């Protein structure tokens, strides 16, 4: 079946460090891929998305590229801030009317 | 409304009690999803509506869980005879189906259920 695997946390970095959170997926066909973020005390928010191979999603300095050959959608940011501390979820959706399948989440702590 | 509204935000129930959780989606959103998020885990799909039709209920963990959306707008998730393992945050999300591309789900803040 369809699934998402992401690196376990917590991930702890110093401010201005480079961030990578790995995500790989298993799915037939060409799913859409997402990163969602959950800030402390808040609901899930869409961070970025990509709908086809080689697409790059970007938002708030975060980027992720849809790699069909490696079935990956790794999240990156060049210089993290304390305000980026949150839980990040990688997710996929087979088609526009289907459910979103989430990974288990990666908690990120950024130290000042 | 401006966002997806869920109520109650917090619910404490004694084991064996029935609970009802409400979701008010964004006005005009056709699709509505319910998810269950246990502590420290990712959201797990429960069920999906398109308008009033429940198209997928494969994620409901047992027959104690029941969801409805009778008029294609507000939805209620009901859990009968609650058990401690039902303790979780229940998330509702809605979207408007686009002809192409990835529909974006907008999530509510969730209803945190604690079963004692």
pLDDT tens sequence across B42-99: 999 999 999 999 999 999 999 999 999 999 999 999 999 999 999 999 999 998 765 5
Contact B46, B111 (CB under 8 A): no
**Average pLDDT estimate for A12-36:** 95
A13 SS3 class: strand
Min Cα separation A59/chain B (Å): 15
B84/A69 Cα distance (integer angstroms): 43
Interchain contact B102–A (C-beta under 8 A):
yes
How many of the other CB atoms lie within 10 Å of CB of B53?
9
The answer to whether B79 and B18 are in contact (CB under 8 A) is yes
Which residues in chain B have Cβ-Cβ distances shorter than 8 Å to A1? none
Q: Within a 13 Å sphere around the CA of B101, how many CA atoms are in the beta-carbon half? A: 9
Q: Does B43 touch chain A (CB under 8 A)?
A: yes
User: What is the distance between the alpha carbons of residues A31 and A1, in angstroms, rounded to a whole number?
Assistant: 13
With H, G, I as helix, E, B as strand and everything else as coil, classify residue B92: strand
B37, pLDDT greater than 90: yes
Average pLDDT over residues B9-29: 96
* A43:B44 CB<8 A: no
Run of H or E residues at A22: none
In chain B, where do the E strands start and end? 5-7, 10-13, 19-24, 31-37, 44-50, 53-56, 65-68, 75-79, 88-95, 106-107, 111-115
Report the residue from A43, A89, A104 with minimal CB separation from B109.
Answer: A43
The alpha-carbon gap from A25 to the nearest alpha carbon of chain B, in Å, equals 15
Mutate to test the interface with B, among A4, A40, A100, A104 (most CBs of B within 10 A): A100
Residue B105, pLDDT score: 86
- Indicate if the pLDDT at residue B103 is higher than 80: no
Residue-level pLDDT at B82: 97
């Amino acid at each position: 079946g369809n699934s998402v695997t992401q690196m376990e946390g917590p991930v702890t970095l110093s401010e201005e460090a480079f961030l990578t959170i790995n995500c790989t997926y298993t799915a037939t066909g060409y799913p859409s891929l997402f990163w969602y973020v959950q800030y402390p005390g808040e609901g899930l928010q869409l961070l970025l998305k990509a709908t086809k191979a080689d697409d790059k999603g970007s938002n708030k300095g975060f980027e992720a590229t849809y790699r069909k050959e490696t079935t990956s959608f790794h999240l990156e940011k060049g210089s993290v801030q304390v305000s980026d501390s949150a839980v990040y979820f990688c997710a996929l959706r087979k088609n526009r009317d289907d459910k979103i399948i989430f990974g288990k989440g990666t908690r990120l702590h950024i130290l000042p | 409304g401006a966002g997806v509204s869920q109520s109650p935000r917090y619910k404490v129930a004694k084991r064996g009690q029935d609970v009802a959780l409400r979701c008010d989606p964004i006005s005009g959103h056709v699709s509505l999803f319910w998810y269950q998020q246990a502590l420290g885990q990712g959201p797990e799909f429960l069920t999906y509506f398109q308008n009033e039709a429940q198209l997928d209920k494969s994620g409901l963990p047992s027959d104690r869980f029941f969801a409805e959306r009778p008029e294609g707008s507000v939805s209620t998730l009901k859990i009968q005879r609650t058990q401690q393992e039902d303790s979780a945050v229940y998330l509702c999300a809605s979207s408007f189906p686009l002809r192409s591309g990835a529909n974006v789900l907008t999530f509510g803040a969730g209803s945190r259920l604690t079963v004692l």
